[in-house]
Structures are given as C-alpha cells and as structure tokens.
Chain A
C-alpha cells in the first residue's frame, strides 16, 4: 500500500539559527500527512523545531555518471578551502 503513496524527503531544523538538514524520507498520500508522518518518524525525541517535506520526485539530482566531470576538477584546487586565514572562535557552525 505505501508503494502507492509518493515519497517525500524530510528536512529537520534542529534549532533556531541552523539550517534544515536532510534526515530521510517518508511515504504519504499528500503533503499534510507527509508532515505528520515526518513528525512521528523523525522528531519523536525532540530532534527539531521545524520540518520541511519535499516531494522526492521534485528533487533534481546530479547524474552519477557525470560525477567525474562535475566533482573531480575541484579536487586539485585546495586554494578554494578557507584554510589560509584564521576563523575567529566566536564564529560557529562553519
């Protein structure tokens, strides 16, 4: 039966100030119930203060076959990492 229901990707904001993070997916017949299923499945232990659900079909994903051309060129460019200057201790979540 759940195979008939669309899949929804679930994003949880752990606390104010942080961004929503992908935590998993649920089956549900519509958006409203997808939110409730997400609430019951992923926030039972106080994991979050906000939920997003997105139809999985709406996610545009990169093609694994193109991983080479998409990601490998970045491997050799260490100057793109912010490691050449000091980050003040007060700056969190980087």
Chain B
C-alpha cells in the first residue's frame, strides 16, 4: 500500500484531535447579540412609526412615515432571520430579551417628537452602516450596502423636517425643542461599548460607534443650527436597553405587536 503524503498541519492547529473534533455549528454569541441589537432597533422603530398609520398629520406625511416604517421592518426581517428564526424572535420573545436601544422604543408623542427620535437614531444608524459596509462578516457587509441607501433617505428627511419645524412657527419650534429634549438622554447609549460589542468589534464584524461620535455630534449640531434650535442641555444618560433593561414603553409596544401570533399561535395568512 502506498504511503500517504505527509500532511501539512495548518498554522495554529494544535495537532492531536483537531480532525476528529465534532463540528458544533455554534456561532459566535457576540455576533448573534450584534445582529439582535441592530435587528431589534429596526423592528421596534418600524413598529413605532407604523403606529402613525392612519393618524399622520396629513395624508402625504402618513404615507411618508409608513414608508419609513416598512424600510425598517424589511431591515429587521433580514437581520433577525440571520440571527435565527425571525418570526419567533419578533413575536415570541419577552421584553427582557429585546436588545434594542432605549431611544427607538420611546413613544411617538407628537409629530415633532417622532421626527426628533428619527433624526437622532437614523443619523447614528447611517454613520454606522457606512462603516459596516466594510464588516468582515459577509452578511453584515451586504446588508449594510443595501440598507445604507434607505437610511440615508431617512436621515435627510428627518433633518428636513427638523429644520422646518424648528425654524417654523413659534408652536412648531417649541414642539421640536420639546421632542429633542425628550430624546436627548437616550443618545449616549448609542455610543456605549460593552464587552459583547467590544468582542464583535475585535473580530471586525461590528463597527466601533465611538469612532464617529464626534462626527455625529457635529452633524446633529449643524442640523439644529439650521433649525434655529439650541441643543438640549446634557441630561443624565439612561442606559441598559442593550442588556434588556427597557423603559416601560417597550412592553406596551410588544403587547400590541405580539398579541395576534401569541393568542393564535397557529394562525397563518
């Protein structure tokens, strides 16, 4: 019997046992966690905007907000299906298991508060997606390439409305300022890096938000200046959404969103 050629052991391999080691198929928990964070952000904000459907201040704005909501639900579908079973994750998870940031779950308030939330979130999301286009993870990179165009539109639209409401009438300016004031304390959470995120950043699959914190502040500052608005005074930051410590608003949102599939688990279209 001819002898087998010598095997080149790959660099870094330990030798004994490696070829027999069972394939676990398990994926990196930090990566799953990252997908859930991004996916839950999109899902919860999409659901929030969907609440405007039929209640928009004018027909054109109603359609516009519904369009934004659909973009976000589409993004959530891709991200949650990559993390696992998207439908189960969306409709059969309890509030403590959601990983979205606190900003996106804040109530719609009036139109100005909705716009303030959208400006603050999508400006961050846009800068993040621009960087995620270079993610070492193929899915994340492809997702970012697709979503970055949608989110660029969201960001511009939110900025346009912020400028018009801020620099509009006395009432619209007051409402815009109040909307920003409500949302302001949830911004620092967007730039928080915990162990799980740091692990994903170290692997090159996630982007480090601290790298664009300065760029974010000046971009928001430029919009507020054009809107003739003062930046709200810094408040005590509220953190914890990424760990499942949510405000009371998320439970109410999920109760509406999850009611049907939980009450009728076998319901199909």
Contact = CB atoms under 8 A, between A and B. Distances in A.
B231 to A, nearest CB: 24
Contacts, number: 32
B160 A33 contact: yes
B58 A41 contact: no
Contacts of B64: 36-37, 40
Contacts of B164: 29-30, 33
B58 A2 contact: yes
A2 B63 contact: no
A44 B162 CA distance: 23
Interface string A1-42: 110010000000000000000000011111011001100110
Given A41-B63, A44-B67, A36 B58 contact: no
Contact of A40 (B57, B58, B63, B160): B63
* B-side interface mostly: helix
Interface size class of B (residues with CB under 8 A): 10 to 19
Interface in A26-85: 26-30, 32-33, 36-37, 40-41, 44
A1 B160 contact: no
A26 B58 CA distance: 11
Contacts of B58: 1-2, 5, 27
Contacts of B57: 1-2
B161 to A, nearest CB: 8
Interface in B48-64: 57-61, 63-64
B182 to A, nearest CB: 22
A36 B63 contact: no
A1 B60 CA distance: 11
B78 interface: no
B152 interface: no
Interface of B: 57-61, 63-64, 67, 157, 160-161, 164
Interface of A: 1-2, 5, 26-30, 32-33, 36-37, 40-41, 44
17 contacts: A1-B57, A1-B58, A2-B59, A2-B60, A5-B58, A26-B60, A27-B58, A27-B60, A30-B164, A32-B160, A33-B160, A36-B64, A36-B160, A37-B64, A40-B63, A40-B67, A41-B60
